[in-house]
Structure 1
């Protein structure tokens, strides 16, 4: 078998299965240890900001408009998981005097080294048709998949990391983008700061234009956008903190990784939106509509890999009284200390959801998947569960004595009526 014949066979039978195994291990590591990884990222970010601040003073550097983390394939080729970190002014690539330092991403790219070892071992069966230089070239191409976890961790960690004193002390522009990408190649925004005073009406007019591209990674903090029509738009990883979107229509939107902390969202319609990784901590959500949302933690498909899995949606300490999560996909969600009085979770996927210390009086769990749900400390008085789940739900004796168990016949009629009335 010559190289022309061997390489497609090698890719299909050795590289692709090994890649999947390595990425699944990295995914498990990320999901299990993301808070510890975020802490490590923050420590590294503080060091980077301190170094950049010193550079800024020495070079009499103008205010920073961009901080870019760039994967260096030249370093990767010699076994170093190093990203170049550059702080530039608002001119970005045209800044001739950037401040520079490094970031070590060994936590993610160590799995790429494992992949290299595995496929190099697998190449031996091809009797010299697949050489070590071939493997090394393949690994440089495969790096893009593992690099995506560096992007994902930056997204997860930066909302806390930018609050560090080392970052606050930097001289920055009113608009700052923190980006992750490849050196002198494509990069993407992982966090954006916009300190401009923005007029709510001009923002409404901009959104009304209905662009399919422009609203991702944006900053919509402290704005009155109430009673607005924002359906079927892409706001992924944007921020709406301390804003008012009460009675607004956001159904069918891409809202992955959005942040809504301390926002007013009463009677807002988020139905059938993608909301994995969204943060609604301490928000006002009474009567909000979350029917049919896709907000599960983890990979899109548990046995395949297309991109890093999402982190969990959270409603910690939010007021969600009277909201509807009928048919919602909420695996891994956090509702700790939330007010969930009379919330309807009928037919929802609640696997691994945390309701610790939440107020669930009158909530409905009929037909919901409640595998490994944590009700520790929750008030469930008057909450309704399917009778078939009596032996499966994790309630203590006191909690069990206060709930209502709906029998199968009544459950079927209830769910038929409920889902029949849900618009499709």
Structure 2
């Protein structure tokens, strides 16, 4: 262990608190602890933790800034109030994982498995989700500003408080989805599907009527939204 304020004591259980770990430390404790560990206020920042097995582990207020977790086994892990900006989760298995109230800005999830994973109250600005396996993936009340979400399916989901401003939503499937708040401001909607989607409570500012006619055909809009879009074309609705 590089440094710590409290010596971890595996003999007392699998709780590790206020410690700073390098890869060798993590490999050793995962081998020795015998069951799923819990980490509180631990620092893994900048480490290469690729190809390690963390299945079922719990992380609370931990720091994973710029950490490499590529090809790691993260199924059923729980993450609460963690700082993980810039972490790389490429090709990791995070099926049934739960991420809550965490900073995941600019993370890379390319090729990862996210089946039944849940993100609640997280910051995912600039995050990259490309070629991911996402059956059952759910986002709640999260920032996805500028995120790359190409090809994801949100079909028939209820989308609560999702900010997709400036996000790349090309080829996404929003058919029959219900948006509760949130924003599509300046989002890229190329080849996305919105048939039957309810967008009445979404911020559509920055979109033009041409965008709606081309990409949002078949959606449900409010009167105020329709007036705004028509007004942007220079037409006055009296």
State whether TM-score is above 0.5: yes
Tell whether the 8 Å contact from 1:366 to 1:406 is kept in structure 2 after alignment. Answer: no
Which position in structure 1 is the counterpart of 2:146?
337
What are the superposed Cα offsets for residues 328-354 of structure 1, whole Å, 9 maximum, x if unpaired?
342211001112222333454421110
Identify the match of residue 4 of structure 2 among 175, 180, 191. Answer: 175
Say which SS state the counterpart of residue 285 (structure 1) adopts: coil
Tell whether the 8 Å contact from 1:384 to 1:406 is kept in structure 2 after alignment. Answer: no
Say which SS state the counterpart of residue 330 (structure 1) adopts: strand
CA distance in 1, matches of 2:27, 2:101: 25
CA distance 1:392–1:323, shift in 2 (3 Å): farther
CA distance in 1, matches of 2:183, 2:114: 21
Within the alignment, does 1:234 sit opposite 2:58 as a pair?
yes
Shift of 1:210: 4.4
What are the superposed Cα offsets for residues 347-378 of structure 1, whole Å, 9 maximum, x if unpaired?
54421110111111112223544222300011
Which position in structure 1 is the counterpart of 2:30?
207
Contiguous gaps of at least 5 residues in structure 2: 7-15, 220-238
CA distance 1:215–1:352, shift in 2 (3 Å): same
Tell whether the 8 Å contact from 1:322 to 1:344 is kept in structure 2 after alignment. Answer: no
CA distance in 2, matches of 1:346, 1:202: 43
CA distance in 2, matches of 1:358, 1:214: 34
Q: Pick the structure with greater CA Rg.
A: 1
What are the superposed Cα offsets for residues 213-267 of structure 1, whole Å, 9 maximum, x if unpaired?
5423321111111122211121232222111111222111111222221111112
Q: Which structure dedicates a bigger proportion of its chain to helix? A: 1
Moved more, 279-288 or 344-353: 344-353
Which position in structure 1 is the counterpart of 2:124?
315
What are the superposed Cα offsets for residues 12-60 of structure 1, whole Å, 9 maximum, x if unpaired?
xxxxxxxxxxxxxxxxxxxxxxxxxxxxxxxxxxxxxxxxxxxxxxxxx
Shift of 1:291: 2.8
Tell whether the 8 Å contact from 2:179 to 2:199 is kept in structure 1 after alignment. Answer: no
Say which SS state the counterpart of residue 315 (structure 1) adopts: coil
Within the alignment, does 1:375 sit opposite 2:198 as a pair?
no
CA distance in 1, matches of 2:126, 2:198: 28
Contiguous gaps of at least 5 residues in structure 1: 1-173, 178-188, 297-311, 408-424
Within the alignment, does 1:389 sit opposite 2:200 as a pair?
no
Say which SS state the counterpart of residue 295 (structure 1) adopts: strand
CA distance 1:253–1:199, shift in 2 (3 Å): closer
CA distance in 2, matches of 1:276, 1:349: 18
Shift of 1:211: 4.1
Say which SS state the counterpart of residue 78 (structure 2) adopts: coil
What are the superposed Cα offsets for residues 153-185 of structure 1, whole Å, 9 maximum, x if unpaired?
xxxxxxxxxxxxxxxxxxxxx5358xxxxxxxx
Within the alignment, does 1:247 sit opposite 2:71 as a pair?
yes
Which position in structure 1 is the counterpart of 2:82?
258
Give the TM-score taking structure 2 as reference length. 0.72
Count of paired positions? 204
CA distance 1:217–1:204, shift in 2 (3 Å): same
Shift of 1:393: 7.0
Which position in structure 2 is the counterpart of 1:295?
119
Aligned CA-pair RMSD = 3.0
CA distance in 1, matches of 2:218, 2:132: 21
CA distance in 2, matches of 1:284, 1:314: 13
Tell whether the 8 Å contact from 1:346 to 1:364 is kept in structure 2 after alignment. Answer: yes
What are the superposed Cα offsets for residues 129-159 of structure 1, whole Å, 9 maximum, x if unpaired?
xxxxxxxxxxxxxxxxxxxxxxxxxxxxxxx
